[in-house]
Amino acid sequence: MRIMKSNYIFLRDVRFHACHGVLPQEQAVGTDFMVSVRLGVDFSDAMETDDVADTVSYADVYELLKQEMSVTSRLLEHVAGRMVKAIRDAFPTVTSIALSIEKINPPMGADCKGAGVEICWSSLNNDKTVG
């Protein structure tokens, strides 16, 4: 089969409760977060074989996200960087990662649905890499 130009595996708006934040209350009580990730993966073989071994399992990606969300950090930048590194280490066939973490209702005195960070990494970039 011909390789497709762009193939992606994604998880959208995965909700976690975690204790990330600069404020002591955030680290003690925690808050809710939404994580989304899109991975560039050539799964053209899986389209033919119907075998999960020929792709990246989004269930496995979820377990990595869950593991990193359980490690308390002050900054979402740190959490996002760890997630990207964990995905890259676990799945060397991934060619790009777009990952966002959104803190729901952040404690900053603003009427705001959420605030967060986004990382876009590509194996084609030669500039600063994550991890």
Active site positions, annotated: 103
Distance of alpha carbon 83 from the chain centroid: 6
**Which amino acid belongs to residue 66?**
K
**Which of 120, 47, 109 is closest to 80 using CA atoms?**
120
Q: Is the dihedral of CA 22, 98, 119, 92 positive or negative?
A: positive
